[in-house]
A and B are shown apart, each in its own frame.
Chain A
């Protein structure tokens, strides 16, 4: 390798607080893998981090075009952080299209690391550039670090037997090597990962290792970098950590709920972006008593889980908006037969097919009201990728204790985003075990527990407990079909009351910040990081009049919510929809809450929330 011979001056190592890097390139360039590997290493060296993968709905849009650009933003920090950053400090672009799509997000003086080999006239044309931005001065406001990534990767792999196309596919690892050198990161865990990933193709593993090493050596040998950087470990709470993406946390939460309830988990689902990774993850854990059933459609997915719930399993289905709509009728059935069921909705941009790979929070009102008849259903929502674990566990707890379907909302941002997760101890997780009805004497399928109003769970195979359930209205107690007017009123009231009583069994709403004052920001779901970050920044800057309340339980609400809302002069509700929680709050509590709304398929930037907060505060 030619570069090894050079002996340049060692660049100066600079300590910095944090960096936001965005990797961008063709969806075939291995951008998600590169981002994922950098993230994993950042986690292992103890940084706090947050990630925002952003990929197209098409698997491989035509190479070099704007719709084919895939991105992965990562913020790694020596501080305790909550969001992946409003804008990147460093943009790594693999081709002109990636530059074109992302350049507007880069602040002036931001760094662009660019694969110059891809800036051919053909690629420039595909990206819609009339002249080469690397040469026409249009990037003068930025610090451009040009690297002939394709040529250098081929050179680094000169000895291998791969064909040029295969060699070119390794250039993401070369780029990763350069960045690892630039930020003083270790290579070992990536070597190990490559070894495992390409176990069956040792020649590819070797080539990727060589590319990674080549990138590192290039960083060392070249003179384009005057500095390298160090980002120290973050002051996270002591404990054992792993990095986790939301969908995996959700899967682990379900396995944990299975173990802690002592039930087999039945996961019936139909592939849909961005929820499918939950299926991929769960299907590996048959040894933990997890059955995964890939059904013929969304309706069969939930219908099969209702059958499994009837038979005594911890039954779960997971989908995204379009699938949620299809499940509506069956959700009503689950509610009518009062069986425990967890229904996860990994929300994405809608309506219809909408933005399959982009995030949105526009399914809350559907979760709340999207069924015919009076059909109240508990709703919980996760706030961060790691929180998907605890939230879905809570959904299972409520479902089993109250014999009810429960909706668990996450979204595309949480599903694919990752963060360090302080691991709970298995033994500290609450016991959610259930007891099936076995006593035939006095058995009535719709007799209720006086406290929870849950009906008994009597599963097939239990002698003397043979009974029928179904979607027709049931007689209170006996469960026989009943068209009696008074009974329908009673059963409707009971189903409503059962859900309402859950408020006695969930934590009170607690705010971050002052207990009363000028402004309360109320959020739910994945906006947690952005809102909490804004509040914290303001507090650090001396403004301690802003409080933040983030709701996990959306139906029922914590029982003190109305009282808490009343302690503030203004209530602001930022949501990635056109105003859904804000409507519920105004409706339930007659509070003059105002919304901050955005539906662009992207999470809030902190600055967007900050601007709104300042606008409100100016009127005080």
Chain B
């Protein structure tokens, strides 16, 4: 089938989707199924890899090659897939527990290597599949089944972590903001290198409303700032508020002020991307969504392939016999 003829339907399987009714995962699935046919990639070249957790059931619902691996290890399995065949489009579906807790090590190493995979991290700030324990993104004081007195764990800031690892593409979006979600997935797909996307995802069973104070229609205009490349960080229902940097300190000012913070996703210096990851943490600034940073760089799989091709072309054709008989050899003659 030519990729141009593909539709979202071609990417959905006959498997019954088994997420809870009302789960944010549905809209993410739908967005991905809508974006994939537009990418010009044949269906058989997609591989969707996941770990363990609610979000990691994702591959079963995508009619591509898929691998539901073990808890936390999706980036490691994906590394083998992408290095073995760099022509594949490899996507990872993971959650906050899978990616940041049990799989933290693989996540940071995939990002520092700039492996050319797209990581969609569904952040619902809770362990859903194990029925409601706090996660590495749960807020301090969170009362859950495993923290009846409130969690004393300080949470990870996933995007600060990604920026710190040198990730070459870092973005955030929201499950219920469908056009935004799709546009971020498209931007991730267009990036050559590791794309790390945090998706605010509501778990209506174990952590309902986790992001409601930012993402509810009634508040989002004031609580979120949608990053637009080359444009100032303006927000508010009336587009009347903006962010200005006072040294390294962001402050909310009127949109009419001068010296507003103008977003440059392609800035090669990660400092501002890091500062963006610190917005919206309770100091009155809004939470940014969109592409935080994007940087062109050689990929791990590309470099591996290049080394191999160079080795092959400089040695010419090889044969096993000469390898086995290389080095110091001697002949034992038959005894007469």
| Chain A residues within CB distance 8 Å of chain B | 40, 43-44, 46, 189, 233, 235-243, 252, 255-256, 259-260, 264, 266, 268, 285-289, 291, 293, 295-297, 299-300, 303-313, 315, 329-330, 333, 337, 422-427, 429, 459-472, 480-481
Contacts and interface: CB of A to CB of B under 8 A. Distances in A.
B324 A423 contact: yes
A46 B68 contact: no
A615 B82 CA distance: 59
A266 B332 contact: no
Interface string B1-25: 1000000000001010000000000
Nearest to B45: A461
B320 A460 contact: no
Interface stretch (B69-77, B190-198, B263-271): B69-77
Given A296-B106, A467-B65, A241 B332 contact: yes
B68 A469 contact: yes
B298 interface: no
B308 interface: yes
A426 B332 contact: no
B109 A300 contact: yes
Size bracket of the B interface: 35 or more
Nearest to B81: A307
Nearest to B85: A311
B67 A461 contact: no
B88 A43 contact: no
Given A303-B73, A463-B42, A238 B59 contact: no
Interface stretch (B147-155, B179-187, B221-229, B311-319): B311-319
A329 B307 CA distance: 32
Interface in B24-75: 42-47, 49, 52, 59-60, 62-70, 73, 75
Given A303-B77, A307-B49, A43 B328 contact: yes
B281 to A, nearest CB: 29
> Interface of chain A, helix or strand or loop or mixed?
mixed
16 contacts: A44-B330, A46-B330, A237-B332, A242-B329, A243-B328, A287-B314, A287-B315, A289-B308, A295-B109, A308-B81, A463-B1, A466-B63, A467-B66, A468-B62, A468-B65, A470-B59
B164 to A, nearest CB: 16
Contacts of B331: 238-241
B321 interface: yes
The 7 lowest CB-CB distance pairs between A and B, nearest first, are: A307-B80, A470-B68, A303-B76, A286-B311, A304-B80, A468-B66, A311-B84
B247 interface: no
A469 B66 contact: yes
Contact of B88 (A268, A287, A305, A311): A311
Contact of A300 (B13, B64, B105, B318): B105
Contacts of A330: 70, 73
A465 B65 CA distance: 8
A286 B307 contact: yes
Most chain B beta-carbon contacts within 10 A, residue among A266, A425, A462, A468: A468
Interface of B: 1, 13, 15, 42-47, 49, 52, 59-60, 62-70, 73, 75-85, 87-88, 105-106, 109, 304, 307-308, 311-312, 314-315, 318-321, 323-325, 327-335
B79 A300 contact: yes
Contacts of B105: 296-297, 300
Contacts of B78: 307
A87 to B, nearest CB: 28
B114 to A, nearest CB: 14
A398 B81 CA distance: 22
Contacts of B84: 264, 266, 291, 307-308, 311-313
Nearest to A315: B80
A241 B75 CA distance: 44
Contacts of B304: 291, 293
A469 B77 CA distance: 12
A480 B1 CA distance: 24
Nearest to A480: B15
Contacts of A189: 328
Contacts of A460: 44-47, 65, 81, 85, 88
B66 A300 contact: no
Contact of B87 (A303, A308, A461, A468): A461
Contacts of A305: 80
Contacts of A311: 47, 80-81, 84-85, 88
A296 B73 CA distance: 12
A303 B332 contact: no
Contacts of B87: 461
B60 A333 contact: no
Given A252-B324, A308-B83, A470-B69, 13 more contacts: A242-B325, A255-B323, A260-B320, A287-B311, A289-B308, A293-B79, A299-B76, A300-B75, A303-B70, A309-B80, A460-B46, A468-B65, A470-B60
Nearest to A259: B320
B328 to A, nearest CB: 6
A289 B314 CA distance: 13
Contacts of A239: 331-332
A286 B313 CA distance: 10
B73 to A, nearest CB: 4
A300 B63 contact: no
Given A308-B84, A311-B85, A466-B63, A241 B69 contact: no
B88 A300 contact: no
Most chain A beta-carbon contacts within 10 A, residue among B42, B49, B84: B84
Nearest to B68: A470
